[in-house]
Amino acid sequence: MVSRSRKAALIVASIAALVIGLLAVWPGDPPTPPLLRGVTAAGGWLGGCPAESEWGANGPLALSPELNKRLADEFPAGQSEELLTQALMSQRFELQPDCVKDRSIRSAEFIQRSGSLFHWPVHAWVFWRIDEARKLVWTKGFVTFDAL
């Protein structure tokens, strides 16, 4: 027969294991949107706005290969900017001010505020340029993962 204290210890251990397991696989808050699921980050400079100074202006961009492919496939050049902005906002991206040096370049940012041991929070930016008719000229996507 198992003692009462042994049963209590087993219950506490089971609850602790469940909580630790959930914390290890928590998907983040807000949840990772479809556009960012399974993306990777790259080294280099972040941002699609023209450089404010010469420092770093010629370095490689930290473009996420998967995010850039998705952007190019889903929002090709010539498509209406409105379709892109609606899609981004529906996935909890927030529109940002236009680039200071070039107002035809726009951006949106996604910030995941929490994660877990196996899911670091995602921070992503999408930049795009529009023409006079508000059609897309290009898109660029950047991703970082913020360690807990």
What is the predicted pLDDT for the residue at 79?
Answer: 97
Model pLDDT for residues 56-69, shown as the tens digit of each residue: 556 788 999 999 99
Instruction: Dump pLDDT digits (tens) for 49-101.
Output: 887 655 555 678 899 999 999 999 999 999 999 999 999 999 999 999 999 99
Bigger pLDDT: 138 vs 118:
138
What average pLDDT score do residues 40-49 get?
Answer: 88
The pLDDT value recorded for residue 118 is: 60
Buried-state track 60-90, b at ≥16 Cβ within 10 A, e below 16 = eebbbebbbebbeeebeeeeebeebbebbee
- Could you give the residue ranges of the DSSP H alpha helices within the chain? 4-25, 65-74, 81-90
Rg (CA), the chain: 21
Q: How confident is the model at residue 43 (pLDDT cuts 50, 70, 90)?
A: confident
pTM, rounded to two decimals: 0.76
pLDDT of 31 reads: 86
Q: What is the pLDDT of residue 126?
A: 97
CA distance 55 to 36: 29
pLDDT of amino acid 18: 39
Query: Exposed, middle or buried: residue 127 (CB in 10 Å: 0-12, 13-18, 19+)?
Result: buried
Q: Which of the two residues, 106 and 58, has the higher pLDDT score?
A: 106
What's the rounded mean pLDDT across residues 120-147?
93
